[in-house]
Chain A
Amino acid sequence: MGRRRQRVDPAAGARAGALPEAIAALSRSLPSGPSPEIFRRAKFDRPEATSALWQLLFRVLSPLPAGNALASLALEVQARLVKSALCSQGYPRLALAQLPEDGSQGSRELLLALSWLLARGPVPEQMLAQARVPLGDEMTVCQCEALASPGPPAPHMEAEGPVDVRHVQWLMGKLRFRWRQLVSSQQEQCALLSKIHLYTRGCHSDQSLSHLSVTEAEMLRDPEGGQQLLRTLERENQRLEAVLAWRRSELVFWRWMDTVLGTCAPEVPAAASQPTFLPWVPERGGGELDLAVRELQALEEELQEAVERRRVAWEAKAGGCGRGPEWSAARRASREAVEKELGALQQCWERDGGPAQPHGPHRLVRREDGAAGDRDLRAAVVIRTLRSQEACLEAVLRRLQGQCRQELARLVGALPGLIWIPPPGR
């Protein structure tokens, strides 16, 4: 586990009370951060600190901005999601995966996990960016998310019973309808935005913008809402200041984390398989109990062998679907193929399209005169770039569809006496 070194006023570390201040700054900069007392208890692995840390880790790791729906998830669910997210990011300590999910123990492990995340990337800044209050009407144009490599592998799902392909088609159809409704809603939103920008020309105090955004128009219309917005902005300011304070005093925190790591037992390399839990029998009891214990052990070994045999047979039959070394090798191969495709696609985009789009959201501004500053993007340019990207994607799709069709035709040709009627479609 690495940690960041930063040039910081060395005298600051020596001040008493520097540690609680640093931790307080950290917790103020994170959403619903726990108090410094929780951190201290976690160092000594006290159970009362556990649930607060699970919840904090969940907030940090969940991909969506916080909403009420997420906060109402049960602790076990949150804990499970945290475990799988950390595992997919490559968290090295296995003790975390074995923690119970009811929040009864393991606060020190959770503290270590939190600091690992903090060391890897600018977590407080990222969380702030997620929860930002946009004042203008914004939209992102870069396609980074589209080209990101495939996300964490989904946990293995055992299908209960035979899966009806029609049910899957049904769900796909629903998804497609939702998608189309999304597109029409977006069109509606764009039409309305355009109207608002048009009607509020000349209202803005900033000459370069010249018209109001939706938030600003709403603020003028509804003063109470304006007060609300002001309070939200003030809270955001406080968090920004907390982040700055945290960055100034980080070093103290890392020194303290070193001590926490020191109090942990050295990590035992993971056993290849789950340890078997023998039934616990009290020591005293006499010869009969010993006999019973031995019999139970023998029975358990027999059962294990039987299970192993069955599993091998099943895997041979099912072709190792979902498990087994061949399956994971196949999955790895297909993932590499996908990454290669994505890389090729990105190159194709860079070649055909215009200049690379800057990242992050952009404010939408409507201008009559067509004058644009240096850092401004013109809509026509963006549209052209997106269209060329779309053309690349369509070409790839057609190529893949052609490959699928050829493969199907080959498979069908191998079976004599089978007439294959392709589904209607163009």
Chain B
Amino acid sequence: MSIVTVQLGQCGNQIGFEVFDALLSDSHSSQGLCSMRENEAYQASCKERFFSEEENGVPIARAVLVDMEPKVINQTLSKAAQSGQWKYGQHACFCQKQGSGNNWAYGYSVHGPRHEESIMNIIRKEVEKCDSFSGFFIIMSMAGGTGSGLGAFVTQNLEDQYSNSLKMNQIIWPYGTGEVIVQNYNSILTLSHLYRSSDALLLHENDAIHKICAKLMNIKQISFSDINQVLAHQLGSVFQPTYSAESSFHYRRNPLGDLMEHLVPHPEFKMLSVRNIPHMSENSLAYTTFTWAGLLKHLRQMLISNAKMEEGIDRHVRPPLSGLPPLSKMSLNKDLHFNTSIANLVILRGKDVQSADVGKKFRAYIHQYTKFGIEEEDFLDSFTSLEQVVASYCNL
């Protein structure tokens, strides 16, 4: 079943490109680890999910690109076309000339309603192209204006129009010492709105991935494209076809449905994160020896001690007794676990409480939001709903 990807904002578009690239190059990889028939079944399954066929055989990504500035979208489109392996659909993008100025309210209250119809039209055309439609995968960042504000608006619209389909939002947690001053406000508003309209929120933190790049992959000058590639690798491994119970030639048909059914049935606990090992550059892969059981044990320890990387794991932390068992899905070589310790959110809360109290000067930024119709009550509402989320997680 097919997934339609909606790429929002600069961050969303760049990551989206890397994801499709990773998916396709993985399915065409020549490493020869399995028989040809298996390989073909794998390729077919992967392709059907994320790409549609065109006459001359070049797969077209099932994606909708949305941004308020034309620069990033043009870059993305041309990079895809240059690769020769795949490309984006011609009419699958929507951009304007303006930009959102990192203002959540601008994205949500101005851009959203104004361009609602055009954006939803493009999305509908993509959905109609699918023979069997499974759900939406929405990539956005939390800190910027377009990704976060417009993303929240679009997700809400999708919930209204396609209430039966599944939606997973992939959100990027900004750097702790980020460039955007009001990113905390943006993040709070985004999270609370998304919590209502989306089914699952998959978080990735720039900080964590940065560390992975630096320590484990030995990349000296870390650029956004490196970070995005690691991200795409993680995402790709989540979404690539997995075996179904019957036989090794049948892949499970509904990736989003499987993930969601096992991980986020409870309406209050929608946050997910990905842990994957091993982390290393492609070159060293040939020199390692891993066993499946060893990898699993490693992952479990990572999860329990809330580590994002292999190094520095506290081996003495034991899991608390919780009534909800973590369910894992066997994929090619990665695992996704239910994140019972959503310390990320607690960190944000700590930061925000500080910044909201300490900074009368931060209140100065609120006027930018009220200009576009987001009042203080909205902030308070968002705070309350997020506090509730944090409380429910703490009570686990």
Contact = CB atoms under 8 A, between A and B. Distances in A.
Interface of A: 164, 166-167, 169-174, 176-178, 180-181, 183-185, 187-188, 191-192, 421, 423-426
B236 interface: no
Nearest to A177: B261
A184 B134 contact: yes
B384 A170 contact: no
B113 interface: no
29 contacts: A167-B324, A169-B265, A169-B266, A169-B267, A169-B268, A170-B265, A173-B264, A173-B267, A174-B265, A177-B166, A177-B260, A178-B261, A180-B164, A180-B165, A181-B257, A184-B1, A184-B134, A184-B165, A184-B257, A187-B133, A188-B133, A191-B131, A192-B131, A421-B384, A423-B388, A424-B192, A424-B196, A425-B196, A426-B196
Contacts of A192: 131
Interface string B157-195: 000000011100000000000000000000000001001
B196 A173 contact: no
A174 B259 CA distance: 11
A176 B131 contact: no
B57 interface: no
Contact of A188 (B1, B166, B196, B385): B1
B132 interface: yes
A187 to B, nearest CB: 7
B133 A184 contact: yes
Contacts of B265: 169-174, 176-177
Nearest to A180: B164
Contacts of A177: 166, 257, 260-261, 265
Interface residues on B, range: 20 to 34
A41 to B, nearest CB: 43
Contact of B261 (A174, A187, A424): A174
B359 interface: no
B266 to A, nearest CB: 5
B108 to A, nearest CB: 16
3 tightest Cβ-Cβ pairs between the two chains A and B: A173-B265, A188-B132, A174-B265
Contacts, number: 65
Contacts of A425: 196
B323 interface: yes
Contact of A183 (B164, B266, B385): B164
Given A177-B261, A184-B165, A421-B388, A170 B266 contact: yes
Interface of B: 1, 131-134, 164-166, 192, 195-196, 254, 257, 260-261, 264-268, 323-324, 384-385, 388
A326 to B, nearest CB: 32
B263 to A, nearest CB: 10
Contacts of B165: 180, 184
Contacts of A426: 196
A169 B270 CA distance: 13
Given A184-B133, A184-B134, A192-B131, A166 B266 contact: yes
Given A177-B265, A181-B254, A425-B196, A167 B133 contact: no
Contacts of B388: 421, 423-424
Contacts of A421: 384, 388
A180 B166 contact: yes
Nearest to A188: B132
Contacts of B192: 424
Contacts of A180: 164-166, 257
A185 B131 CA distance: 11
B387 to A, nearest CB: 9
Contacts of A181: 254, 257, 261
A150 B63 CA distance: 46
A183 B385 CA distance: 30
Contacts of A170: 265-266, 324
Given A167-B323, A173-B266, A424 B166 contact: no
A173 B385 CA distance: 19
A176 B265 CA distance: 8
A72 to B, nearest CB: 18
B254 A424 contact: no
Contacts of A172: 265
Contacts of B166: 177, 180
A272 B130 CA distance: 64
A164 B323 contact: yes
B68 to A, nearest CB: 27
A188 B165 CA distance: 12
Nearest to A171: B265
Nearest to A168: B266
A181 B133 CA distance: 10
Contacts of A178: 261
Contacts of B254: 181
B132 A424 contact: no
B178 to A, nearest CB: 27
A174 to B, nearest CB: 4
A184 B268 CA distance: 24
Nearest to A181: B257
Contacts of A184: 1, 132-134, 164-165, 257
Contacts of B268: 169, 423
Nearest to B388: A421
Contacts of B260: 177
B252 to A, nearest CB: 12
Q: Give the one of A164, A177, A178, A187 with max B CB within 10 A.
A: A177
A313 B324 CA distance: 34
B329 to A, nearest CB: 14
Contacts of A188: 1, 131-133
